[in-house]
Chain A
Amino acid sequence: MGLVEPGLARAQSLPTCQNYVVNAQWGKLTVDTRRSNDGDPIGVISWAWFINVNADVPGRYDWTVFINGTAPEGPQWNVKDDNLHSAFRRYRDGADRYKSGDVFHVEAAHAAGKNLYVTPLNRCRIP
């Protein structure tokens, strides 16, 4: 799943995860950092996957979120009739799962009829 992670110098050259958008022919992946309600300015990474082909949107989505190339939580799936939207909290079960400078990426797949969608290559640096 995860590619070998680039070193810190490489991470610094990545775009930040603020208003990060990766466009594809069929839609886009968006990533943005959000303030959590406990006041942490990067407490939540909100991400969404928009498929513009309306007939292909409903169904099961499978995804894994990675921080520095490793997955803090296992693969997940969710059946949606609207585009997939998820949020990844920094503080969970008594521990922080990322820090400023870490690299976020998500890998997701969605089958719709004869079409298989996968998220475009994405990688951003948490501000």
Chain B
Amino acid sequence: MTESNAVVGARLLADDIANALGYDVQIDAETDDRLGGETATSSIGIRVPDLGIEMGYRPAAGVAPESVACQLASHIQDDILSKTAMIWPEDQDQGDQPLVPGDTGWYRESEPGVVVPYGQAGAAHRPDSSLHAVVRWWLGYWFVGVIADPAGDVWFSEHEFVGDLSTIHAGVRVDYEVGDRLHGQLRKATAVRFAD
């Protein structure tokens, strides 16, 4: 039996999570053969039970495996980063800014030509503990990021940030205020702006 592109795509992402972080990853595929006799994947889901992460959707017919991996990865990368406090997937020798999901593979937002195929991004690392009051990582496609803080990293999104979002990148200095809520393991900011 051949697997659908949806299952293949979900498995590529599952491999990247399992190989880099060691978690058990479940894939849930539902099929619907009521139309035309051909079995099609009617929904595809991915779960990381140890982290309480779950995402899924109904992919369009004929979509490429990489597109499925991209859709799933886009919606759970922040959750994985925030719940593990790890840098995933690692961009080797590029510090604490992770790779981000694109239509054809993981890539570097600052250099879109750099692509690591889904299923081959099997590394993660602990964040650099020497950083302070700088953006540790920023997911420019999702508008969320983390500030390095020795007392515990601080998560923020576009909703807490005042300034030009398009100029945020890893390493930029920021001023911030921390609230009493959490996002995953991370403390949540109430206000963030570029440092003078």
Contacts and interface: CB of A to CB of B under 8 A. Distances in A.
A44 interface: yes
Interface residues of B, number: 35
A85 to B, nearest CB: 6
Contact of A74 (B55, B60, B67, B112): B60
A94 B64 CA distance: 11
B71 interface: yes
B52 A77 contact: no
Contact of A93 (B67, B142, B184, B188): B67
A79 B49 CA distance: 11
A76 interface: yes
Interface stretch (B11-19, B90-98, B116-124, B158-166): B158-166
- Chain A, interface size category, equals 20 to 34
B75 A76 contact: yes
B67 A79 contact: no
Interface string B18-60: 0000000000000000000000000101000000111111111
A80 B45 CA distance: 14
Nearest to A30: B159
B63 interface: yes
B74 interface: yes
A35 B158 CA distance: 13
B127 interface: no
A74 B58 contact: yes
Contacts of A89: 141
B141 A81 contact: no
A78 to B, nearest CB: 5
Interface in A79-108: 79-82, 85-87, 89, 92-94
Interface of B: 43, 45, 52-60, 63-64, 67, 71, 74-76, 79, 103, 109, 112, 140-144, 157-159, 165-166, 183-184, 188
Given A30-B159, A87-B142, 4 more contacts: A74-B59, A79-B54, A85-B142, A93-B63
